[in-house]
Structure 1
């Protein structure tokens, strides 16, 4: 690596500018740019600017222009060849319904998806083409794309510039971070899919049991001993059945919590974030003063997890009493009066996951950060449901500010590490997101059903109207 850097420093600066610009533009301009190391190139030119071979300001301007040019060419290619692709044999195999769903998804995400794609490998090559093929106006695409390009290029070049002699280490960690981001995106997709399934199956235990009953061994058993099972259910009674159903649902939540925690542990371990834990801890330690420590410690103690869970229980009881959405399924309970129950499960999961280390500094999931994050997000969710837009924005803004303050306060006090804090906050956010997606999915499915109409006199005389399928 050192020999390569020495060789590059001997090349003419104009040639380095030209080759780097072609690589950065080609990453999105051509479909084969999926294999082009655009991120590593930006780090490299940033290091060369630090070494004096290039100048920082021209490097930023040239790389920004190259990235915008590549995205524009990709957008135009998608606009030109997108309809042809849809009309081809491959497009016909995809089907018009899937194309409409892809267009609707891009329309919902809009510029936000274009902005976020710039930070994810592979996505920054494909998304401009999809935007052009979907018919997104360029005047809508350009501002979001420019914002994504500016933030991505500037951050990557400055990281290479500030790394100095540590370029090789930073390059390796940034590559690991890209992989961790891809795993995190997979976790987000899994959370959304799990939430949607839960919304469509509000009683997950019964849904899983019904699917299990369709398996050949279970189906054979129920056919031979179905009467015995029926008599046993009659003997247990409705109350005990609901209690067993709730216990089984909590076990499912417990297993899901461990699955999410394990996935986030993989993300944190492969992100390279733990490499800066010591530097961040030293930075906070150098700024501690006795007066500030007392104030921050008092705040953290007052707003610990058990207190916030109690607040969630009170708010959930008030919301449930006002709306009275009582049903016999598990999701209704966990989404109203029992909104605090998932927080208790999360506290146990985070405690067990965090105790896997040999000491307090080895804990992957600080329990307090995970529970505090989930509690504040749950409070914002309960207060914003059905509220006016300003109230919802205020609730979520206060929750985000509380999460940032309390997580930063624990870092300031040295009670958790940076990597542990990030993992715990992600665990709390994803835990709440599952129930938010489930509740929204259920609301759409329930709200889409129209109540049965009263029969008209003509209907009572035998002239029945045709019933449209739901």
Structure 2
């Protein structure tokens, strides 16, 4: 029955495109509304409506705006209902028919506090319940609205973009380049293999790993090495006695691989065929439909955006008294900038000639990839430090995902070689490993997110949006294909 109803509604909206804005708002509203969001297939509806919006030519920002406003309104309504029926939620229909959801939502909210409003926006069963619980437990209105709006800014693209891109592709009848699915499948398999190897290696270097315990015994035999081990050992109660072996090995391993990779790139032709093949593949893939998302991704990796994130993070940490963490983040940003500039100048590899106005600097390594790698992996390391050892890998995977569109955008736009991206990734990982290893001796207390953290995130997103809007005309011109 649900599928028939969904098909009929989709057909009606196709025949009445003027109602699409209201449909986006209403569907997002119901998707975020208490209990109704579980019953109504909001995800499928949003995908279908977003696809229709793209096919009739609705601007992407308009679709995101209507969906975002609907999500904010739905959560605000749920919050108001929770405030109205506080203490009596399980006695009011239809909430009385789902008492287990209320209990689950209360446990989730008490465990995560205010940030559960953001987390709950993306977590299935508790998604439409958390705003209700927040209202019932008397969370302040202003604090809730800050979390509500911040979460909607991330929610709208996640739920709208897939359908919008599919609708745009159907409207333009895009044909993928030769061997598209084969190359994509092999690339995903290689990425999965790298992740498996990385995490297995990471587990071997953990505090209870064989390699860690063996090295600890060897270091304890000599006074100098034992003093070094104790100097960098974490003194925080939850991580007492934990030496940053994984961070050090990440730094040394990445530096060693970067030296080897840089020599292969600059002094031999071994990697040149791979660079040319990747360049040609992305050149065949390029379509006007994909240009806008690629330019947005590449602008998010520009130096002003990354420096804004670093400065805001430092200000938040300094304001909260975490001076050592702020200094290490600032040093990581400066180190990345200096090393990228120095390597580009020293190696001097010429960029591809795929765009009308390519950047004037050298090609190797990719500064966008280096900066974004440092940003996301340092963020992941600080967040993962507050999680249990077995849960840290999930944090690293989730927070490393923004690196993918930035790196791919440089290849897609034709301003970097494949080897540049790998070089930037290795350099970024080396800086992150060294930064985390150095910070371990200053790691005394947990650094948990608070309202100031989320306000800084909103400020960064606002700045990033303004920067993209400001630079958009020049970016369109600079990244126009040369032929």
Instruction: Name the TM-score, length of structure 1 as normaliser.
Output: 0.39
Higher helix share: 1
User: Whose radius of gyration is greater, 1 or 2?
Assistant: 1
